[in-house]
Structures are given as C-alpha cells and as structure tokens.
Chains A and B, each alone.
Chain A
Amino acid sequence: MLEVRNLHARVEGKEILRGIDLAVGAGEVHAIMGPNGSGKSTLAQVLAGRDTYEVTAGEVLYKGQDLLGMAPELRAVEGVFLGFQYPVEIPGLNSLYFLRAAVNAVRTHRGEEELDAVDFMALAQEKMKAVEMGEDLLRRPVNAGFSGGEKKRAEIFQMTMLEPALAILDETDSGLDIDALKVVAHGINLFRSPERAIILVTHYQRLLDYVVPDFVHVIQNGRLVKSGGKDLARQLEDSGYAWVEEEAGEGSGLGERGPAA
C-alpha cells in the first residue's frame, strides 16, 4: 500500500529525514518508535503533505501512485489520514459542519452520494460510541477547548468517519491516561481490517500493549535504524533507545525494510 524509498526532507535548511525506507502492506500495523527529535513526526507530516517540509530526495508510492506529487486534500480523499499529535483548535468552526464537509469530500471523490444532515448524524452517533465520545463535543467548534484526551478521541473518531485506507497516527497516545488510552486503542482495533494499514508513530511502548503491531521500526536521526516484530517494542521499553543507538553506530546505519507491500 505504501512504499517509502530513501526519503529525505528538511525544514529551514536542516535535514530531518535522512533516507527513510519503509514498506507497509494492506492489513498491517507498523509502529514507528523513536526518541524526541528523531524525525518521526516529520515523517508523519511529510506523508500527509505538510509543505513546511521540503522533500529533497526519495519517493513515496501510495497504491502505486506518486504520493509526494499529490496535494494534501487529494491524499486525504484518496484514503490517507493523519491523526495529529496536536490537533488544531479552530474556534468558530462548528465540528459537525466541518466533519460533514470532510466526509462528503471523500464520498464525492469516490463517486458516492453526499450524506444529508440526518444520515450524517446517524453515522456520527454510531461511530462516536466506539470512542466513547460525548455528542456535545460535536456541537462545539473544532477541538476548541477540548482536553488533551478529548482531542485524541476526536481524531480517532474523525478517522472512523473518513474510513481511510492508510491511517498515520502521530503520538495519538501521548497525554492520555490509561482509561483514555484503552478507549483510543479500542477505536483503532475496531478500525483494523485486512484492507487497511496503520502506522503508529509513538514515543512509548504503552499503546502497543493494546494495539499490537505487526512490525516495529526504530527511528533515529532521520533513519529507520532497526526493525523487528512486536517484541522489539518491549525491548525498547526495558532498555531504552541507547542500545539501538550503539548497534546502529556499529551497523550500516541504513534502515531495514519491512516486507514488500
């Protein structure tokens, strides 16, 4: 589904991604773990099309198409979803109105009929239950005044409404207490399917207790320095990132590849 080849990106002249290689197939859940400043959020943003980052080398194929050549909104309607680390508050913009516009943008692109207000509400109510989100949040402006946990739930809720093929969730677990984490994890697990792929970008192993990944990659200094199965996350949790760093220093320094999509 997604193939990232030798991806380099920089911001304000500073190179953040220094040759990312990653292949994600349908039905797979990949975790990308790394310390702060390793480039993991940059990777997520670049995949979603944020233009503050300049891609200097490499390519990204999504369902065989050149993802980097697509505008952010085209990526979204083609099925790429980014769950933001810091969802943006937009006072004055009604959540319901915004989300219906987004859902209908996707539906129109797929050649489906737009949902009217009634059908949209019915769908939203059903999906909200899964993330235990109160309906009152939908009546408020987008993310405005939401708590950290509410924002993350709202991101997962948006994901389930938009039904993307590839979800990139950037630190969706950060700032959540254990109950909220379980709710968010439950929402992600419900979303998992053989047709969909998920990339979990995270600092901690905690989320991975509840959403068990198929592959774990360690990102450091803008490269994937180690890849493995779900046990790798546990090792990182126990021993920190230092040992990977040492190993990487000795090794090639190039990231390993997941299985081909």
Chain B
Amino acid sequence: MMERGAEEQGYLEDFEKLTARVSSNGGAWLADLRNRAMKRFRALGFPSTRDEEWKYTSVEAVRKAPLRIADSSGADTVRSPAPFAAAGWDRYELAFPGTGNGAGGARSDGVFIGPLADAVDARLPWVESHLARHADYEDHAFRALNTAFMEDGAAVRLDPGRTLDKPVHLAFPAPSGEARNRIAHPRTLVVVGAGSRLTLVETYTGSDADTCCTNAVTEIVLEEDAVLDHYRLLRQGEKAFHIGTVQVYQARNSRYRSHSVTSGGAITRVEINARLDGEGADCQLQGLYVAGGRQHVDSRTVIEHAKPHGTSRELYKGVLNDRARAVFNGKIVVHEEAQKTDARQSNKNLILSRDAEIDSKPQLEILADDVRCSHGTTIGQLEEDELFYLRSRGLDPAVARKLLVHGFASEILDGIAIELLKDGLTAQVFSELEA
C-alpha cells in the first residue's frame, strides 16, 4: 500500500488542474463532491487481486500506465469515427468529446438531452438530487475517480409521461489519436420520469492501438412505471482499458432492459447494478462478451430486490478464444421485505480454445422466504452432435463451427430491437470472432 504513491501523483496533479479549470461551474455542491470523491480515491488506492471484488481481475496494468486526463475538455483528443454510427439508424446523438459544452442541450417539451456540464451549469434541480446519489464510490476506487474527474458526459431527462420518437445515442470514442496514455471519465445521468419511455444507446469505441483508459459511470433513475431500453455497446482498441459502471435505480413498476455487448480491449470490466426499490419492478439484463487473444473481460452484475413482486431475468453469454480470460459474477440480493420476488439468472460460455478461461460465479443472497430464484452456469465447447449435423449437410468444419458460434451469440444480438444497429453490431461481432 505504501508504494502506490508514485502512480497516484499524476492523478493528484490532474485533479488540481481540473478543479482550477472547472471551479466556476456547478456551484459549491459539485466542488465538494469532487473533493470528497478524490479524498476517497486516495484512501482506497487502486484495488488489488487481494480484494475479493477484484480477485480475478488485475488492474496493475491500469495502475502502472502513466494515464493523464486531457488538458481541457476534448482539446487534444482526436475523435475517431464511431463505427456504430455508420449504420444510419435514426437517433438523437451526442458525441463526447465533441458535443461542445455550452451548447445548452435540446430542451423542449419536458425533455432535456445535453452535456452533463450544461445541465449542471443550468442548476437543473434533478441533477443535484440524483448525481452521485446512486453510484456509490465509497468502496470503489474507479467510481471515486470518475466522480472526482467527471467532465464529459450526458444528461438526459424525460418529464413524466413523455415518449421520445427515437433513441438517444451517446457516443464515447476512446481517447485516441495524438493523445497517448489518456484517461477519460465519462459521466452520464439519465432520469426517466413517471410513465415515460426511453431507448438509450451508449457506445464506447476505440480504433487505435495506443494505451488509453475509459472509466465510465452511468447513473439511471427510473421513476414509477418508467421504461428504459438500454444498449451499452463496447468495442475498444486492443490496448484499451475500460472500467464501467451502470447504476440503476428502479421505482415501482418500472422496467429496465439492458443489452450489454462487449468486445475488444485489453482489460474490460463492466458492472451493471440495479436496485429494484419499488413493488413490481422488472429488470432484464442481457449480455454478450466476446474475447480472444490475451483479452480480459469481467462482467459483474448486482440485482437487488428491495421490494415485493419484483422480477428479474438475466442472461449473459460469452465466447472465448485463444488465451482470453473472462469473469462473470452475477449477484442477486433479495431483501427480507421483497417477498414474491421472481429472479432467474443464467450464464453460458462457449470456449473455443484449450487456453481460454472463465471464472463464473453466481451469488444468491436471499433473505425473504417466499421467492423464486434460480441460477445456472454452463461452460462448454461446441456440441459434436451439432457439428456433425452441419457437416453431414456438406458444410466444411470451419464453416460449421462459425455458424454454431454465430448461433450462440445471436441469442443476445437478436434481442436488439433497433434493426440497423443490430445488423451493424452483428456484423462487427462476427468479424471479430473470425479474426
């Protein structure tokens, strides 16, 4: 613990630079929040594999990399084109950095879509009441860092009873181009009002080979009867680190559907945590992780049933090749009060090489007595029966294998309701599998 100082020095210098730059923005509460978070980060330090929560994922490489933030928001960062955007699907889009702060966001008829900094400057009341109230940083160094450094990112708010006519796309290209060893801390706040519906697409992409790190936090608040379809699509460059948290707060009868697709990146860790804090809330988490080479991908979910009659469905699938290593940790917590909870979790892994590895760990903590909870994990290779069936129809073994792997991944990809996005992403994932 004593020796960690050197790596943290850069973060301290950056923090001073940042606070000097943004001090005029947002009022005292935000400055205070940043200070508290930075203090917490300094107390925690980077996690090590001795920490139970990080047992299978070493972030030593992240700790040791001389990562620095950009000198000013977006100034020395060359934005690579977001591959997901090519498909031409209809959407509202904000790209970070790139969407200039001060643009004010689109505000009309009870809808706000804009940079988080603008929402802070405008002192919109829902920002202060929700920002950093859900994504807890007390025990999480990366969330603490994000909270201290949050700068680029979006704020989206739908007043009660609104339905947007198209999805909102938040594009986060990894820090790249001339900016080597950059770290970015995108922060997004989404508040969906009672009875409102929103489709949110977050894409994190990176195309170059420079070491960089994205440390993202997205906070989502679903008021009563709100519905959110959330796509979190990740495709990072081969030397990229990505640490991400999605923290969801669900009120009564709200519905949250998450589709998380992860590929690329050297070290990737995505945590999706939902707290079902109202009766009858529904949470569906679907995930696909694809890894090859020496990639490390860690998927971590916590579904917390705090009130009765909640339902959750979770299916995460992984395809691992070469020497890739994956971690799945799915935790379901059912509080004593949360009777009649119906929770199901499944993690399925397809291992294509002898040297690939998966640590799959389902965790159930059930304190209520009248609940239905189940979980299951499968780790397997391609089925010989299926392979023979396809070969007996004339398909070359390599083609047959490819079709079966695609079939395995399609179960998740087919759940993407935006057709053009699904097609583009499917093509990308499949090309990755063949690389």
Contacts and interface: CB of A to CB of B under 8 A. Distances in A.
Given A71-B391, A73-B391, A101 B399 contact: yes
8 closest residue pairs by CB, A with B: A92-B407, A93-B407, A76-B394, A105-B394, A102-B393, A88-B389, A72-B391, A92-B410
Interface residues of B, number: 25
A32 interface: no
Contacts of B404: 90, 93
B393 A76 contact: yes
A48 interface: yes
Nearest to A48: B392
A253 interface: no
B406 A93 contact: yes
Interface string B217-257: 00000000000000000000000000000000000000000
12 contacts: A49-B388, A49-B392, A71-B391, A73-B397, A76-B393, A76-B394, A77-B394, A93-B403, A93-B410, A98-B390, A101-B395, A105-B394
B396 A105 contact: yes
Given A49-B392, A73-B397, A76-B394, 17 more contacts: A72-B392, A73-B396, A73-B400, A84-B392, A88-B389, A90-B389, A90-B404, A92-B406, A92-B407, A92-B409, A92-B410, A93-B403, A97-B403, A101-B395, A105-B394, A105-B399, A162-B394
Contacts of B410: 92-94
Contacts of B385: 88
B408 interface: yes
A52 B406 CA distance: 25
A127 B411 CA distance: 29
B386 interface: yes
Interface of A: 48-52, 71-73, 75-77, 81-82, 84, 87-88, 90-94, 97-99, 101-102, 105-106, 109, 141, 158, 162
Given A50-B388, A84-B389, A91 B394 contact: no
Nearest to A164: B394
Nearest to A86: B385
B395 A105 contact: yes
Nearest to A144: B407
Given A73-B394, A91-B411, A98 B403 contact: yes
A256 to B, nearest CB: 29
Contacts of A75: 392
A133 B210 CA distance: 54
Interface string B187-214: 0000000000000000000000000000
Contacts of A101: 395, 399, 403
A95 to B, nearest CB: 11
A50 B391 CA distance: 10
B352 to A, nearest CB: 15
Nearest to B397: A73
A98 B395 CA distance: 9
A87 B394 contact: no
B391 A76 contact: yes
Contacts of B395: 73, 76, 101-102, 105
Contact of B393 (A52, A71, A158): A158
Contacts of A71: 391, 397
Contacts of A98: 390, 393, 403
A104 to B, nearest CB: 9
Given A87-B389, A101-B399, A109 B406 contact: no
